[in-house]
Amino acid sequence: MEVTVNGEQRLFVIPEARGWSCLGFDVVYKHLRALGEKLARFGIDIAQVREEEIGSLAQYEQYREAIALIGDKDLGTWFDPDTPKPVRAILERYRKTREHLRVFYGEPRTGRDWLEESDVVGRVGRSTGMLKIPLLIAEGESGGPGMLDGCIVRLMDVRARRELYRHATYHQGEIDIRQASVGKPYTHGVWVGGEHHANFRSYAKAAQWVAFMAGECMQAPR
């Protein structure tokens, strides 16, 4: 089976042993450009990456060929091409010191916090393979999920409770704690921007969640 193009969803559909995987047109284009810059440092030039070829099988094949050129070369940590330079520098510094970060993910265009509460506290690691992406590793674990580094809108040092980075237009929706309407065992709920977001078993747990989202405490309620 061959790679096919889903123009409506802007995806390359890639056959695999047990199904398919997908790769976005824009992801291929941006990563191919970044690969060209990285490989150039080793004296390897790839063909010009053309914007007008976005979504073409020719550009996907060019991407595959560029990946193959990496070989055993160490390209360093592989960040999303859209990751701001200050964020890259902080992640690299904390990867080396192994100190813990609190990561806030959100919409990179607007700076709106997604209010993620899972996989947002830990030390920075790095995957294996040719493209070594940053990982966030929770305390006591030896591995963790890949970071959405291109969607980081705020960073804090866990131990010092100190902010390290904030998106220029970082913001959260207005957060309220109200009486829960769903009944036991929940007593209180959190509303964000006027919409119900979550329920909690006590006012204290709801308040802890709000504090965690604000970066005023570093542990989400359980």
Mean per-residue pLDDT pooled into runs of 10, the chain (222 residues): 91 92 96 96 94 96 96 94 97 97 98 96 95 96 95 98 97 93 89 93 95 94 83
Q: Chain centroid to CA 51: how far?
A: 25
Where do the domains of the chain lie?
A: 4-70, 85-166, 175-214
Scan for tokens 């193009």, then name that residue.
Answer: 5
Tell the residue number behind the tokens 């007008």, with chain if given: 52
What pLDDT sits at residue 1? 62
pLDDT of residue 221: 86
Tell me, what's the pLDDT at 45? 94
Q: What is the pTM of this model?
A: 0.92
Side chain identity at residue 171, one-letter code: H
Residue 182 is predicted with a pLDDT of: 83
Q: Which of 159, 79, 83 is nearest to 122 (CA)?
A: 159
Name the nearest CA neighbour of 53 among 82, 29, 23, 81.
29
